[in-house]
Structures are given as structure tokens and as C-alpha cells.
Amino acid sequence: MARKPALALADRPLEEEEVEAAIFVHEGNVTKAAEELQVRSDRLRKFILAKPVLRKAMDEILDRGVDEALGVLFEGLRQENWFARLAAAKEFLRTEASVRRGIKPIPTAVQVQAPAGGSGALVLKWLDDEGPKLIEGSVNNGSR
């Protein structure tokens, strides 16, 4: 597909109504909307950010995506396949709604930093089926 010269794309006037229609058709994909409108995507992004009605349209598109994603999760929770239900439940428990109910996401990584200019003690403690575990060590700035 032949590209149009950048200057020609930059000069095309934009109308809020046509931009709104294009971003809805392309579900918020600004690059695809820009191609349809024959303008540069960076220019279209700036135009959208400058127009409250278009920012609102983008918010609506994202809200619709969230609604659809929630629908998929609820559909997954009702599947006969146990693994599908488990996967949906795990994702659902990561949502803000679950956090509000007191379910806290499990961190996948921990970062430890020693106090500025010094070192400190490090103690990790956790429980598992075999009982409590403990690791003790030290942390020094600038070393691993």
C-alpha cells in the first residue's frame, strides 16, 4: 500500500463528528482511525486530547471493552470445563471489585532496597504445608 506524503496528511482538516465516528468504528484504535481519515496518527491523538467530546468518546469505548471483558469472565465462570472456570476465577479475583471485598493480589516479585548510604537486615518468613520457613541475610546498597 502506497503511503501518502506526510505534508498532505498533516494538512487535512479534521471535524469532531467524523473523528468520533472513526474512533468508534475502529474501537479506539487511533492508528486505524488515522489511516481511514488520511491523517497522521500523532496529529489525530493530539486532536482527540484537545476535544472533550472526543476524550469522552474514547472513555466510552474503553468502558465498553471493560464490559465485554467482564462478560467473558462471567461466561468463563459458568463453563463446564473446570480449568476454564479456574482460569476465569483467577482473573476475576485480580479485579478491583475483589480488592474492595478484601482479596489482595499476590505479588509476583519483591524488591528490597537498603537504607540510603547503608545496609540493613533482611528477614523473609512464610508459611507453607510443612510449617514456617525463614531466611535471614543482609542487604547492601550497590551490591547483589
pTM higher than 0.75, yes or no?
A: no
The Cα 105–Cα 110 span in angstroms is: 13
- Strand segments, DSSP code E, in the chain are 119-128, 131-140
- In the chain, the amino acid numbered 139 is V
Q: What are phi and psi of 58, to 5 degrees?
A: -65, -40
Long-range CB contacts for residues 27-30, cutoff 8 Å, separation at least 24: 27/61, 27/64, 27/65, 28/58, 28/61, 28/62, 28/65
The Cα 94–Cα 102 span in angstroms is: 11
Kind and range of the H or E run holding 38: none
Between 123 and 1, the more confident residue is 123
Provide the grid cell at 115: 537504607
- The tens digit of pLDDT for each residue in 5-60 reads 454 555 678 999 999 999 999 999 999 999 999 999 999 999 999 999 999 999 99
Between 6 and 104, the more confident residue is 104
